[in-house]
Every structure is written in C-alpha cells, then in structure tokens.
Amino acid sequence: MARKNDKVIITCAVTGGVHTPTMSDALPITPDEIARQSIEAAEAGASIIHLHARDPETGRPTPDPAVFMQFLPRIKQATDAVVNITTGGGLGMTIEQRLAAPLQAEPELCSLNMGSMNFALHPLAGKYQDWKFDWEKPFLEASDDFIFRNTFRDIAYILKHLGEGCGTRFEHECYDVGHLYNLAHFVDQGLVKPPFLVQSIFGILGGIGAEMENVIFMKQTADRLFGDDYVWSVLAAGRYQMPFITQAAMLGGHVRVGLEDSLHIGRGTLAKSNAEQVAKIRKILEELGHAIATPAEARDILELKGGDRVKF
C-alpha cells in the first residue's frame, strides 16, 4: 500500500506546455503572470508548484533557463512552497533543452515522465476559430505525429545527472500501466530510492483513459510493485480533474490541480486562476475531513533536500 499520510499534498501545475493562449485568458504566459499565479496558488493551499516556462511575447512553451530565472527567485522569495520544474518541457524539445533549466536551478523536485508515448493534442485544434498567435494551431495539429520521447536511456540520464548530481527528487509521471513497470525497473536497479512520488495521470489522448476503474487498477498495480515505498498522487485532464482527484484523496492519495491540467473550474466555466482551482479542491478535501499539507509537511513526506539547497 502507498505510504499513509495524515495530510494531503496539493500540487498546482500553473501553466504547462499543453494549452495555448487562445484557450483561456487566465493561462499565465509572462514571467510576471507565472510568478503571481504561483504565489496566489501557494497562498490558497498548494504546497508544491509545478512549473513550465513560456515565451513572454507569444506564449509558446520555451526551455530557456533565462526565462525560468525571471520567475523562480520571485516564487521562492514570496512563498515556502516546493518548486517543481518540468523535465518534459513541450512538444518537440530535445532532452538537452528539457534539462537546461532544471540542471541550472537544481530544484527540490522535478517531473519525470516514465515512458515514451503518443501525446496527442490535435483534437483541440478544431475547437477554436480565432487564434491569438500564428503558432498555436500548427503546434496542436502537429501532435498527431508526435512521440513524446522518454527512453530508458533518457530516464537513466535524468536520474543520474539531476537526481544524483543535484539532489533533486522526482514526480514520476505515469500515463499508463506500463510506466509503473518502467519505474519498477529503475527501483530494482537502485536508481530510484524510496519514498518516491508516483503521479498517476488520466485522460491524455495516448495514455490510459479517464475511467475510475483505471484509477483503482493503477493504484493496485503500484501497491503490488512498490508496497509502502511510494507516495501516490493523481491528476486528471480536463473535466475529469476534480472528480478524479477527489476520489484519489478518498483512497489515501495526494492531488494535483492547475491550468496545465484543466482550464475549467466547473462544467462549461473557465477558471479565473490557478488559485481558484486550489481553493476549490482544498474546500472539498476539508469538507471530507482531510487536512492539507503545508510545504514543510510536504518536504517531510517526500524527504526533499530543502529550499535552501536550490540554485535560484
């Protein structure tokens, strides 16, 4: 069974590399917007802030460490939240580009995708007519021929250079059952050490579908493979976000919200901010009798190195 904790960790994924500016005016794009929404999300109850960067002029995902460094120090100065930087980046980025900012920043936590997969966004291209930027529609349409590369060699490289080299731990993103077995391989090799965070992801086209039976199956599989060596969290894309993470918390898991995962706060209603989603899931969890983890408690649960040992 996943490690039992009295407190639920809320992660907020603030901007991501999936949604495009046309889809929501609330999606933070500039370093100022990303910093402000991150701080507000932390104030609302998120103990982990998961971050991507975007070109401030166009909103297109960028791996440029210089852009990350325009918001990382501000977030650290204004909040005690754990900063979690993507190693997934965005469509078409090389592994070297994806690692440029994390290797410079040496954060406490980074995402790490546990397998290569189709990662398809192209159905979104048909849902909008008037695009804010020329890059958006071709970017989405091209994903029908995109393989999100995360080979065993890539994963081992990240674990060695970012994990061993920088003391960074990982949010192991598992988009399908096979990704859990990939993770088990690295655990068996001694490259991943407990307690490790498993983020089970549902509803991405190319990954496991958003069905509640799959949540149970993914958890049962992780329980078999990892026993109490792992910490379990769930995120679900789009309209599945709130119902799935609520169920996950009731099963003893942690939760992730944020405009990376869903642009909505309810059926047909766009969220005004990341903080609005954090506040909503916090209220739901507290009504159900759950206590929310502080950043210090999240660090303790995940055995992180501490915010004083990062390079920003």
- Digit-coded pLDDT (tens) for 183-199: 999 999 999 999 999 99
- Digit-coded pLDDT (tens) for 69-112: 999 999 999 999 999 999 999 999 999 999 999 999 999 999 99
pLDDT higher than threshold 80 for residue 5: no
Give residue 13's pLDDT: 98
- Digit-coded pLDDT (tens) for 121-163: 999 999 999 999 999 999 999 999 999 999 999 999 999 999 9
pLDDT mean across residues, the chain = 97
User: What is the C-alpha to C-alpha distance for residues 277 and 274, in angstroms, rounded to an integer?
Assistant: 5
Torsion-angle region of 248 (φ positive above 0: left; ψ -120 to 50: alpha; else: beta)? alpha
Q: Which run of H or of E encompasses 273?
A: none
Name the burial class of residue 26, with classes exposed (0-12), middle (13-18) and buried (19+) by CB atoms within 10 angstroms of its CB.
middle
CA distances, 9 to each of 27, 75, 227, 298, 302 (Å): 23, 18, 20, 6, 10
Residue with tokens 């990662």: 119
Per-residue pLDDT band for 260 (boundaries 50, 70, 90) equals: very high
280, 246 contact by CB (below 8 A): no
Q: Looking at domain 7-302, which of 2.40.10.10, 3.40.1360.10, 3.20.20.70, 3.40.190.10 is its CATH number?
A: 3.20.20.70
* DSSP code of residue 190: T
Rg (CA), the chain: 18
Domain ranges of the chain: 7-302
